[in-house]
Amino acid sequence: MSRPCAESWASWAAQGSEGLSMAKARQSSATVAVASEESVRSHGGAWRLPPHLDTLDYLATMVSVVAPDGQCLFANAAFEEVLGLSRRSVLHDSIFDWFIEPILLKDIVAAVARNEYATSRLQAELKRHPHVFGEPLPVQVIVTRLDFEDLVLIELVEIEQQTRQEREERALDQAQANKELIRNLAHEIKNPLGGIRGSAQLLQMELPNKSLTEYTQVIIHEADRLQALVDRLLAPHKRPHLVADVNIHEVCERVRSLVLAEFPKGLTVWRDYDTSLPEFRGDREQLIQAVLNIVHNAAQALADGIAAGEAIITLRTRVVRQLTINRQLHRLALVLHIEDNGPGIPETIRDRIFFPLVSGREGGSGLGLTLAQTFVQQHQGTIECESEPGRTVFKILIPLP
């Protein structure tokens, strides 16, 4: 087989530009024709691979190179992260094993490998590691023929990805609007509260019948309660940001000890840490409070499970690459999963759980998640939530240096 030229290698990137991220790979791939060729040993022989495939690790979308029979010869870092498996465990297996109902994909890969057409696309569902992810991932599959050894390049674009980015933008705008609303509302409440409390105290001093002080005490008590609520609303915006080196696992361990001290029986808190995660600059106390608010909410939602001794909360840390958070692309980010096996968040409030004063629990203040989101956003991060009966997962995403 003839040696590929730079133009032929660059052409596959142009063909794959139907997925936006493939266009990014074209610039770094156009000059690799003179580099040494790599090879991958298959069960029946050796497959040569185009050189410098590691440049595809910089893409945020999932990319793999497969043989005509579906054997995976290369998978980029994003593919590894989304599957929840190491790259080594993915290589040499059939990529079709990771899809639900892969028959159509098999036919398309075979047809593209035979050069019946240069590229094709379809929608499919990608399986993921069952202990890390609950549901299959809907993806758009772009299959492109490489002008090299009859190999096929497969790009997977999360259908949810665009929706998630739009949701993040809405959440960011909503958080800014909430901040302004809370600040203005809190100041409007604080001013008359001081007058109400002071008047009640003066009235109490002038009452001829001391038995009537019960009523003035109610006024004073409620004014103090509202004052405390206003202070909590303003606290995230008034408190200075104390920056130092933060280890996310120390944060998790602190929260775990606090929650288990409050719920010593019937609750299990599992730990699944990626110990390779580096430290980062942040406010340790703010992050402890953010994680504690979420974990404490989960524990309260698990009341029936705790009574039955079946309540489980899992703290799981992972690192992800090329992640977009709040409209900015970050090379590395940590993801802290906080998962519980409770009844789930009511569907009626699922889209509003980060709004102030929205609570799914009777007697709840509705401020815990609002404060958690505020603290995480002050670290240029965000919080996402997926919930269904029996499984709720909050994901805290924070950029890493």
The pLDDT, as a whole number, for residue 269 is: 93
Residues 67-80: tens digit of each pLDDT: 888 888 888 888 88
Rg of the chain over CA atoms, in angstroms? Answer: 27
* Rounded Cα distance, 52 and 49, in Å: 9
Mean pLDDT, rounded, of the chain: 77
Q: Which pLDDT value is given to residue 398?
A: 93
Percentage of residues in the chain having pLDDT higher than 90: 20
Q: Which residues contact 242 (CB under 8 A, 6 or more apart)?
A: 283, 284, 285, 286
How confident is the model at residue 252, as a pLDDT?
A: 95
User: Which of 139-143, 248-252, 326-330 shows the lowest per-residue confidence on average (mean pLDDT)?
Assistant: 326-330
Determine which of 121-135, 292-306, 319-333, 352-366 has the lowest per-residue pLDDT on average. 352-366
Residue 92, number of CB atoms within 10 A of its CB: 14
Give Cβ neighbours of residue 78 (< 8 Å, ≥ 6 apart): 57, 59, 60, 61, 62, 63, 321, 322
Q: 141: which strand partners?
A: 122, 156
* Among 112-121, 169-178, 390-399, the least confident range: 169-178
Q: CA 112 to CA 155: how far, in whole Å?
A: 14
pLDDT in tens, 220-257: 888 887 777 677 666 655 555 678 899 999 999 999 99
Asked whether the predicted pLDDT for residue 109 surpasses 80, the reply is: yes
Q: Each residue of 24-34: pLDDT tens digit? A: 333 333 333 32
Q: How far is CA 153 from its chain centroid?
A: 27
Beta bridge pairs of residue 244: 282
Residue pointed to by tokens 């696309």: 121
Helix or strand run (H / E) with residue 314: strand 311-325
